[in-house]
Amino acid sequence: MVDVTIVGSGIAGLFVSLRCARAGYQVALVTKKQLTDSSTNWAQGGIAGILDSSDEEAVQAHVLDTLAAGDGLCDERIANIVASEAAYRIADLIAEGVQFDQDPEGEYDLAMEGGHQRRRILHTRDATGAEIERALIQGCRSEPRITIHEDCLALDLILEDRHADERRVVGLWCMGSDDQPFTLPSRAVLLATGGAGQLFRQTTNPTVATGDGIAMAVRAGASVKDLEFVQFHPTALALAGDRPFLITETLRGDGAVLMTKAEHRRWTQTDRTAPPATLSFMLKHHANGSLATRDIVARACDSEMKRSGDGHVLLVTEHLDGEELAERFPTIAHRLQRHGLELGRDPLPVAPAAHYLVGGLAVNEWGEVWQRDLAADDPTNTSRSGNALAGLYAIGEISCTGLHGANRLASNSLLEAVVFSHRAGARVMEALSAEPEPAQVDLPDWRVEGLTDLEEHTPLVHDRAQLRSTMSDDVGLVKRDARLRRAVRRLDLLSEEVERIWLRCRPTVELVELRNMVLLARLVTAASLARRKNVGLHYNIDLK
Ligand code: SIN
């Protein structure tokens, strides 16, 4: 039996693995593909935070911007914890070897993004997440107490047989690249599997983001919170033949401006002397223009696209220095090159894409997962029971700490992940050190008897495409009651079909992911129907 199993290899999973291993605990680090296959690795913008923890005014300003973005639904206590612990955790990352960009004087170069009233975002050019992953993976690979299981899919949590209202997680079933399920007994399990952008047709997330951890925990009795708040990033590159590629908000922080095609035409043909920001449709939507918070910008882009019938709006950088931009945003410049586009020369076609799941597993300030009221049999009824699910923790995007409220402030997610990773790690180690040495455990094997191999995967591929269409068309950026109810009916049918296959077939990655996605899609839709007031990212036309 290992001491701690950590599922997921983004910033949260890697950071807590190192913490626990260095404190002397045996860690199993499980990840669905390779360690680098995580949303963190694709994060461009950066990590928000005040480096001087004694600067109370600056910490409070960060809290205030977080609360404003969250549209009244943030947990202020959590926002204070995260903002005031930022300095320590960012120092930890730097001590792990993460190199954030500095100016020639050796001061950290702080970026700007929507909703921030001042510069406070550390970054490494436009590949901040990749730099964090590089340093943390190097640490994990050289730590002998960490056993890394790559290409290993977590299937389900194993519960100790106790009373229904007092559950304990004692390990999990996983499946390796040989498709053979195996049992991983563990004294504690930390879920850090990230979000679920793959529920939608257009997403900035990697293919691994299928919500596995949330679905697994819900099946084990966890409660979820705020799943109706799905954040769409307003500026994903929208080009035929390429996946939506994130164009970081820090580009707008450095002066890029959103325009419709007509506004851009007017600017280039008749009014070149006017600053492009003064012509942008964004001014009709918010005084902060292209740097308003993400919920406002994404909906404004969507509404302009619907009005004009165009499949995108434009992100304009022609008024800026192309060479400087290419130096500051090399990842983006490189991607644009594939399509013959250049920063500082060409307007970029962009459109909103699903980016971040604000809601998730309901946790307390130590990352402990709340148990659901199990008297209600329906997993979409997720009211909290008042007990934590013993032995289970959730950190990073999978969790809902209350920090983001109804809308996450840009670049607060890497910070939240590292702060809660540290806190959950501390709580896990405290619990383990207080427990007696574990006895040899004999956990059940994954059920295989009577199961057959799935003959064809094609129906699953169609089901997945149908799920993504339903979520994009009916549960997306702009919702309506009738469409949400239609989504409920379609997802219920999909759920019945997938459960039928599940009961008779051996698991495959495609089947496990689809089953997880269907459950999470039902939860997101149920939460969207239940919220009867428009707030933050939740926008239902019928509630106007
Ligand atoms: C971005 O770089 O625009 C994304 C950063 C974030 O999602 O916080």
Q: Considering the domain 458-543 in this protein, what is its CATH number?
A: 1.20.58.100
CA distance 474 to 484: 6
Question: pLDDT of the chain along its 544 residues, tens only?
Answer: 999 999 999 999 999 999 999 999 999 999 999 999 999 999 999 999 999 999 999 999 999 999 999 999 999 999 999 999 999 999 999 999 999 999 999 999 999 999 999 999 999 999 999 999 999 999 999 999 999 999 999 999 999 966 667 789 999 999 999 999 999 999 999 999 999 999 999 999 999 999 999 999 999 999 999 999 999 999 999 999 999 999 999 999 999 999 999 999 999 998 788 899 999 999 999 999 999 999 999 999 999 999 999 999 999 999 999 999 999 999 999 999 999 999 999 999 999 999 999 999 999 999 999 998 887 666 666 677 778 999 999 999 999 999 999 999 999 999 999 999 999 999 999 999 998 877 777 899 998 788 999 988 999 999 999 999 999 999 999 999 999 999 999 999 999 999 999 999 999 999 999 999 999 999 999 999 999 999 999 999 999 7
Q: Tell me the CA–centroid distance for residue 248 and ligand 1, in Å.
A: 6
**Same fold: 235-346 with 458-543:** no
Laid out side by side, the sheet with 348-357 consists of: 245-246, 230-237, 348-357, 313-316, 257-259
119 is catalytic: no
Which candidate, 3, 2, 113, 119, places its Cα nearest to that of 51? 119
Q: Whose alpha carbon is nearest atom 5 of ligand 1? A: 45
Domains of the chain: which residue ranges? Answer: 2-44+88-100+124-229+358-434, 235-346, 458-543
Q: Tell me the CA–centroid distance for residue 410 and ligand 1, in Å.
A: 5
From the CB of 416, is ligand 1 less than 6 Å away?
A: no
Atom of ligand 1 nearest to the CA of 44: 2
Query: What is the helix (H) or strand (E) element at residue 395, kind and residue range?
Result: none
- Four-CA torsion 494, 499, 504, 510, nearest 10 degrees: 70
**Ligand 1 pocket mutation pick from 66, 125, 230, 250 by most atoms within 8 angstroms of CB:** 250
From the CB of 112, is ligand 1 less than 6 Å away?
A: no
191 and 392 Cβ atoms separated by less than 8 Å: yes
Which candidate, 349, 286, 356, 339, places its Cα nearest to that of 317? 349
CA geometry: angle at 362 spanning 147 and 493, to 5°?
Answer: 95
Q: Tell me the CA–centroid distance for residue 44 and ligand 1, in Å.
A: 6
Q: Tell me the CA–centroid distance for residue 39 and ligand 1, in Å.
A: 11
Q: Whose alpha carbon is nearest atom 8 of ligand 1? A: 411
The superfamily in CATH containing domain 2-44+88-100+124-229+358-434 is: FAD/NAD(P)-binding domain (3.50.50.60)
Arch. (CATH architecture) of 235-346: Alpha-Beta Complex (3.90)
What is the length of the chain? Answer: 544
Atom of ligand 1 nearest to the CA of 411: 8
**Ligand 1 pocket mutation pick from 125, 397, 411 by most atoms within 8 angstroms of CB:** 411
Q: Which position among 89, 294, 328, 335 bears the catalytic label?
A: 294
From the CB of 401, is ligand 1 less than 6 Å away?
A: no
Q: What are the Cα distances from residue 444, in Å, to 176, 250, 526?
A: 17, 50, 33
Atom of ligand 1 nearest to the CA of 408: 8
CA distance 398 to 237: 25
Q: Tell me the CA–centroid distance for residue 298 and ligand 1, in Å.
A: 13
